[in-house]
Amino acid sequence: MYLTAIFVEPLGPDAVEYMSVIRRVHLGWNCDSPELPESVIVKIPCPTATKDAFESSGAAMEQLDTDSFGKISHTLETKCYRLLQDVKQKSILVPTIYAADGYDSEQPVIVIEDFRNCSIVDMVDGFSEKQLFAVVEQTANLQAFSLRNKQWITVLRDDEGSFRGNFYVYPSIFPR
């Protein structure tokens, strides 16, 4: 099996691209197989997007190294995806991770399963009761995972120096 076609599209006006360039990539295959994805989401960290996001929020930019913040955030995200992808019990709903490469790789990128039927809930309208219970259930499952599996502590500890060096300014970057 091999790819025969690729088409890239932005996710649309509702997609939030806070610190990355995010695109849906449609994949054409030379065979029909339900295991092969029709599309994936590709997320590439973008220092310019990180800087723009912080500037538009009113953050005090002189106190913040947005490049380091973006790198740390992407690294943490890739490590968490790798950790959760290895969970045998799928009580925590995470997308299939096809690639999760941090800044130590040639091209930092995250390629994940495309949940086409998902949508962002309007913050004013809020969640329905069913949606709220689903969110609480996933939060409880994540908490249970963190109590049973201490590997996440090692994931965080590996980069603790970087986190502390960059996050100590965050309480003071947003004006009151």
Left (φ > 0), alpha (ψ -120 to 50) or beta: where does 126 sit? left
Prediction pTM value: 0.75
Total domains, the chain: 1
CB 47 within 8 A of CB 70: yes
Joined tokens for residue 60: 């005090």
Rounded CA Rg of the chain: 18
CB 27 within 8 A of CB 37: yes
In the chain, alpha helices (H): 47-57, 66-85, 129-148, 151-158, 160-167, 170-173
Length of the chain in terms of residues written: 176
Q: What is the mean pLDDT of residues 135-156?
A: 85
CB 52 within 8 A of CB 84: no
- pLDDT tens track for 33-70: 888 999 999 998 887 766 676 677 666 555 556 667 77
Q: Which residue has the higher pLDDT, 150 or 40?
A: 40
Domain extent at residue 31: 3-173
- pLDDT tens track for 90-138: 788 888 899 999 888 888 999 999 988 777 777 778 889 999 999 999 9
In percent, the amount of the chain with pLDDT more than 70 equals: 73
Q: Using 50, 70 and 90 to split pLDDT, how confident is the model at 77?
A: confident
Single-letter residue type at 25: V
